[in-house]
Structure 1
Amino acid sequence: MRRILFTAAVALATLPAVAMAHPKLLSSNPAANATVAKPNKLTLTFSEKLLAPLSGVDLTMTGMPGMADHAPMPIKGFKTAVEGDGKTLAITLPRALPAGSYDLSWHIVGADQHKIAGKYSFSVK
């Protein structure tokens, strides 16, 4: 009887580790802190499948060459879609991003129904 209880306790102790796994950002294009030529598409690849209707990004231009006091400017008009194996969030821009610095804030919901968010910066030359 003790062996059965011990085995059950060990099995229950390992379940939260599995249940607590959340999607993680594996890669991005452009990468965090990168400087790139004028992109017209951005991608974020995660460790798990995403729920497309609940996942998205906010893109903000935070600096522009030659304008020291440039106020943050939200970028609008882009489309987001989950592509490929369901783990890549693609951001298609209506035109290439102009030179400047940008913050990309993302929020996704994975198959486990947990909302995860993050943010990184990149520059366009």
Structure 2
Amino acid sequence: MRFPALAAAILAVAAVPATALAHPKLLSATPAANSAVAKPTSIALTFSEDLVAPLSGIDLVMTGMPGMANHQPMPIKGITAKAKGKTMTVALPRPLPTGTYQLTWHAVAADQHRIEGSYSFTVR
């Protein structure tokens, strides 16, 4: 008698679309992770799923500056990430100065699960 109930439960789980269980994944980034770029004026991250704009964002911190050995991390203020569809972008108020940066992002898609990640890049 338990077998039909178990079989029904397994079929119900198998019938759930895979996309409903998936989380967004970062597919590409500009500037890319571990890259060296010339004074970017924008940042763009592309994900595998449409994002919930108010729940997704980017933080940017300058972690190193040429000629300053003991440079303290400096958060880049005044940037706002905008998400539309699968892409999150930041228009920087001015080109980033030479140095190293840590970009931290968080993204929420329709499944309402927050994922996050970070990577570094260098401005030359």
- Please, what TM-score do these two structures have when normalized by structure 1? 0.87
Residue 73 of structure 2 corresponds to residue 72 of structure 1: yes
Q: Which residue of 2 aligns with 1:114?
A: 113
Give unpaired runs (5+ residues) of structure 2: none
Cα drift, residue 6 of structure 1: 7.3
Instruction: Say if 2:25 and 2:48, in contact at 8 Å, map to a contact too.
Output: yes
Q: Secondary structure at the match of 2:81?
A: strand
**Corresponding letter in the other structure for 2:30:** N
Does residue 46 of the first structure (1) align with residue 70 of the second (2)? Answer: no
Q: Distance in 2 between matches of 1:106 and 1:29?
A: 13
Tell me, in whole angstroms, the C-alpha distance in 2 between the residues paired with 1:105 and 1:111: 21
Deviation at 1:16, TM superposition (A): 8.2
Does the 8 A contact of 2:57 with 2:80 survive in 1? no
Letter in 1 for 2:34: N
Task: State how far apart, in whole Å, the 1-side matches of 2:78 and 2:6 are.
Answer: 57
Matched-pair identity in %: 60
Q: Deviations over 1:83-124 (max 9, x none)?
A: 3xx100001110000000000000111111111111111000
* SS in structure 2 at match of 1:31: coil
Aligned to 1:81: 82
Question: 1:1-125, aligned counterparts within 5 Å?
Answer: 8-14=8-14, 15=16, 18-83=19-84, 86-125=85-124
Asked whether the equivalents of residues 58 and 80 of structure 2 are also in contact (C-alpha less than 8 Å), the reply is no
SS in 1 for 2:59: strand
- Per-residue displacement from partner, 1:6-65 (whole Å, max 9, x unpaired)? 763442343385543100000000110000000010000000000101110110000001
CA RMSD of aligned residues (A): 2.2
The TM-score with structure 2 as length reference comes to: 0.88
What is the aligned residue count? 123
Distance in 1 (alpha carbons) for counterparts of 2:95 and 2:11 = 52
SS class of match (2:54) = helix
